[in-house]
Amino acid sequence: MASNTSSDAVIEFLGCVPLLQRLPGSSLKKIAEFVIVKHYNPEEYVVREGEAGDGIYFIWEGEAEVSGTVHADDGDRPEFQLKRYDYFGHGMAASSQHADVIALTKLTCLVLPHEHCNLMQPKSIWSADKTLETCSLVEHILHLEPLEVNIFRGITLPDAPKFGKVFGGQFIGQALAAASKTVDCLKIVHSLHAYFLLVGDFNMPIIYQVDRVRDGKSFATRRVEAIQKGNVVFILVASFQKEELGFDHQEARMPSVPDPETLLSMEELRESRLTDPRLPRTYRNKVATRNFVPWPIEIRFCEPNTSTNQTKSPPSLRYWFRAKGKLSDDQALHRCVAAYTSDLIFLSVSLNPHRQKGLKTTSISLDHSTWFHRPLRADDWLLFVITSPAAYSARGFCSGQMFNRKGELVVSVTQEGLIRKARTPDSAVLSKL
């Protein structure tokens, strides 16, 4: 970029332009490379009516006015004043400008030349190249449709895990994706806190509305509401940080466990259980007749055993996981996938000491917190170490740590959820509790 303006400053600026919130981080970084800085004096024409212009113009500093026949009788209406983060020329590559644009003050614009405007048409919010049909299933699940500034729509895909309702991890992952798309791509989520309020209907789209609570130099805060049928069903608050050098230590130690390559996949484990004579015939028949939908996350348990969901066991679990398929190279996506996975097999660990023959239980997530300590790749093996320190008053509490293969602690997770003996449902209720 031909200017003394730093690349980071340009990327941060572009991340605040509403038009660009649908772009993957890779596209924003390329746009930052290709934009040209142009300066204008007060009353100087930026683009004249009838001209094609030089590309898409983003107002970096100063103010401009749209003037001409398009609003001849409208006076000084504010919608025709352009200021920082506004833009014009989008979609004008093959046609001419419909009005004059004149600098009102000293004006600086970043101009994306026409030959690079294809960067404005990515295949998804995560990739400029991979279509939703060719990306991994979990990446597709975490794709959102931008509807308006700060508003996105997500759906539950037919192949996505459901568990009779919208899976809690889907709420977490999609809400975090929505928040991430409203923050410049140099700031990455380092923590999130979420509350599950109502059961989600997987037959309906989910609207995610983002509140840009704060934008600072190093940190940004976002609040996201997930809405169905006019009701807020889920809330997430996330904090984002620009990476910086700092103190580094780690007391947590990854336990010694078998390598994932030596362990059975969930599909292989299911097949082995169908013929395992140590398991009750009724259990094997139940496994055989249950509709099996493969998850978008590959999971390998470190201690495969002959326990069933009615066998008492310690309140702990360790398993390796990774996304099935190659993910796009966006750290925001990889953290969304880790957040998505953190709710797959987590709260149920708090039920382990209470299982017994004939016992039927229900469990629902109440709140969920996650801290991201280091960069990670969710399509490479991560070890999830889970314990449940306590359960009381129909609430189970779980704590988890995720390690990469080098033994680095990359994520910490906590969750509290409702755990109850199953009971016959009464008449329809509004709250999930």
Query: Are the beta carbons of 401 and 412 closer than 8 angstroms?
Result: yes
Q: Which of 127, 228, 342, 415 is catalytic?
A: 415
Active site residue 365: yes
The total number of residues shown for the chain amounts to 433
Three-state DSSP at 169 gives helix
- The beta strand positions in 4-50, using DSSP E, are 36-40, 45-47
In degrees, to the nearest 5, what angle opens at C-alpha 169 toward C-alphas 212 and 310? 155
Tokens 């750290």 found at: 331
Tokens 């398991």 found at: 279
Active site residue 76: no
Residue 272 DSSP label: H
Per residue, what are the HEC states of 106-117?
A: CEEEEEEEHHHH
Query: Are the beta carbons of 300 and 260 closer than 8 angstroms?
Result: yes
Distance CA 278, CA 280 (A): 7
In degrees, to the nearest 5, what angle opens at C-alpha 36 toward C-alphas 33 and 39? 145
Distance CA 363, CA 433 (A): 10
Active site residue 81: no
Q: Which of 100, 184, 330, 343 is catalytic?
A: 343
Distance CA 72, CA 409 (A): 62
Q: Which of 350, 365, 388, 401 is catalytic?
A: 365
Active-site residues, by number, are 343, 365, 415
